[in-house]
């Protein structure tokens, strides 16, 4: 009888070990937040939300920002995080395909992978947390460009890198919306500032010099929009070339209020990071993320307490919520 009990006890212990090692619930959350670039204020703001959610959950969280805005730099951070024992990766991708082998390898080792802000191919993650629908962002950028350009004229785009997943999708939808609803607004050029202030400033200057008739620069990047607005504000182009796009209110406040004809739109970035953590926890705990499934957020969510998984451009995704347009009338109401 004692032998039987010993065998049963051993079986229970073995079963317990196997259930805790399959990447499901029961293991403590150890989250690596891997943005496109560690020094970008947008991602630093998102990390405040990541850390807030981690504090609520008692999870260990680390900001693993690469020093270069390249896929190779992110792959290095991904591999290092897995090697260090992190069991959850929250990634804003620099390239939709180049990260997939490293992310698939991580998932094969039991690591939960959730993307946010910028997606990868569907087989490289469990679910994508999107700031808004890509089509909606493109439509909003098109309307903003038309409004700020007076409904007609040439405009230029200042983006991040040629391979930036989210910016490329937004720009594509923006161009389609311009053609359909604002045919008198023409995109004459797209420049890439690599999400670096110096390069973005140089590209802004080049656009204005090469295309002196442009009425607006659209920058769907929080780094590019500040560089463009700052350059225009201090140049002869002030009052002639408008700047719009996606930017943090604290970064853009000066240029929105100084008569530079600048405006910006964005979602609550801090809450974006917060929601991404709770989505990752849901997946880690074995929660379903097929289209139509519900995912509960945390008590500190500034938006919905529960979100529905929808079908996005690449695959299953969860939408954060609507963006806010920052103008001289409301920009002082926001602090991020």
Cα separation values, 191 from 11, 196, 249, 252, Å:
63, 13, 23, 20
d(CA 168, CA 96): 11
Please give the DSSP secondary-structure letter assigned to residue 67. Answer: S
pLDDT at 210 exceeding the cut of 90: yes
Q: Where are the domains of the chain?
A: 23-132+269-326, 134-266
Residue-wise pLDDT for 244-255, tens only, equals: 999 999 999 999
Handedness of CA 267, 248, 78, 284 (dihedral sign): negative
Split at pLDDT 50, 70, 90, the class of 3 is very low
The pLDDT assigned to 239 comes to 92
Share of the chain above pLDDT 70, in %: 92
Greater confidence (35 vs 262) lies with: 35
CATH topology match: 23-132+269-326 vs 134-266 = yes
d(CA 124, CA 122): 5
pLDDT at 25 exceeding the cut of 80: no
The pLDDT assigned to 14 comes to 33
pLDDT at 122 exceeding the cut of 90: yes
The predicted model gives 212-220 an average pLDDT of 97
Q: What CATH class does 134-266 carry?
A: alpha beta
The predicted model gives 43-58 an average pLDDT of 97
The predicted model gives 109-118 an average pLDDT of 98
Q: Cβ distance 170 to 138 under 8 Å?
A: yes
pLDDT at 4 exceeding the cut of 70: no
- Four-CA torsion 181, 185, 190, 192, nearest 10 degrees: -80
Please give the DSSP secondary-structure letter assigned to residue 29. Answer: P
The DSSP code sequence of 135-194 is HHHHHHHHHHHHHHTTT-EEEEEEES-TT-HHHHHHHHHHHHHHHHH-TTEEEEEEEE-T
Phi-psi category of residue 146: left, alpha or beta, with phi > 0 → left and psi -120 to 50 → alpha: alpha
pLDDT at 16 exceeding the cut of 50: no
The pLDDT assigned to 24 comes to 53
The predicted model gives 58-62 an average pLDDT of 98
pLDDT at 316 exceeding the cut of 70: yes
Split at pLDDT 50, 70, 90, the class of 223 is very high
Q: Report angle CA 129, 223, 221 to the nearest 5 degrees.
A: 45
d(CA 284, CA 90): 12
CA 248 from chain centre, in angstroms, equals 13
Question: How does the average pLDDT of the chain come out, rounded?
Answer: 91
Residue-wise pLDDT for 152-185, tens only, equals: 999 999 999 999 989 999 999 999 999 999 999 9
From the options 3.40.50.720, 2.40.30.10, 3.30.1490.120, 3.40.50.2300, give the CATH code of 23-132+269-326.
3.40.50.2300
Phi-psi category of residue 91: left, alpha or beta, with phi > 0 → left and psi -120 to 50 → alpha: beta
Q: Cβ distance 225 to 203 under 8 Å?
A: no
pLDDT at 22 exceeding the cut of 60: no
Name the nearest CA neighbour of 156 among 201, 202, 234, 215: 215
245 phi/psi in degrees, rounded to 5: 145, -145
d(CA 133, CA 320): 9
The pLDDT assigned to 26 comes to 60
The DSSP code sequence of 249-311 is HHHHHHHHHTTS-B-EEE--HHHHHHHHHHHHHHHHTT---STT-EEE--TT-SS-SEEE-EE
The whole-model pTM stands at 0.81
Find where tokens 């890198």 sit: 161
The per-residue b/e assignment along 101-116, b for 16 or more CB within 10 angstroms, e otherwise, is: ebbbebbeeebbbbbb
Q: Report angle CA 120, 225, 263 to the nearest 5 degrees.
A: 115
Split at pLDDT 50, 70, 90, the class of 18 is very low
List 216's β-bridge partners, or say none: 155, 242
The pLDDT assigned to 6 comes to 39
Cα separation values, 175 from 78, 98, 146, 158, 317, Å:
34, 26, 11, 14, 23
């Amino acid at each position: 009888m004692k032998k039987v009990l010993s065998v049963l006890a051993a079986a229970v212990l073995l079963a317990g070990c196997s259930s805790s090692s399959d990447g499901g619930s029961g293991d403590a959350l150890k989250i690596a937040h891997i943005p496109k670039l560690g020094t970008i204020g947008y991602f630093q703001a998102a990390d405040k939300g990541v850390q807030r959610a981690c504090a609520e959950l008692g999870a260990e969280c680390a900001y693993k920002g690469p020093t270069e805005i390249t896929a190779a730099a992110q792959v290095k951070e991904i591999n290092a995080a897995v090697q260090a024992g992190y069991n959850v990766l929250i990634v804003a991708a620099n390239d939709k395909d180049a990260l997939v082998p490293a992310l698939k390898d991580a998932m094969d080792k039991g690591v939960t992978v959730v993307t946010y802000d910028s997606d990868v191919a569907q087989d490289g993650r469990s679910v994508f947390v999107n700031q808004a629908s890509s089509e909606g962002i493109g439509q909003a950028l098109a309307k903003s460009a038309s409004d700020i350009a007076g409904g007609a004229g040439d405009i230029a785009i200042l983006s991040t890198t040629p391979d930036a997943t989210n910016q490329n999708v937004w720009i594509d939808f923006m161009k389609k919306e311009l053609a359909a609803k604002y045919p008198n607004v023409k995109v004459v050029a797209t420049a890439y500032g690599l999400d670096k202030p110096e390069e973005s400033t140089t590209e802004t200057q080049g656009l204005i010099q090469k295309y002196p008739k442009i009425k607006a620069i659209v920058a769907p990047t929080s780094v590019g929009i500040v560089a463009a607005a700052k350059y225009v504000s201090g140049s002869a182009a002030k009052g002639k070339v408008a700047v719009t796009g996606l930017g943090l209110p604290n970064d853009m406040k000066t240029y929105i209020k100084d008569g530079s004809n600048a405006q910006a739109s964005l979602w609550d970035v801090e809450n974006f990071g917060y929601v991404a953590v709770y989505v990752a926890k849901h997946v880690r705990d074995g929660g379903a993320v097929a289209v139509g499934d519900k995912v509960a957020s945390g008590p500190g969510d500034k938006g919905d307490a529960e979100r529905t998984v929808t079908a996005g451009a690449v695959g299953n995704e969860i939408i954060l919520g609507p963006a806010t347009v920052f103008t001289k009338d409301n920009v002082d109401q926001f602090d991020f």
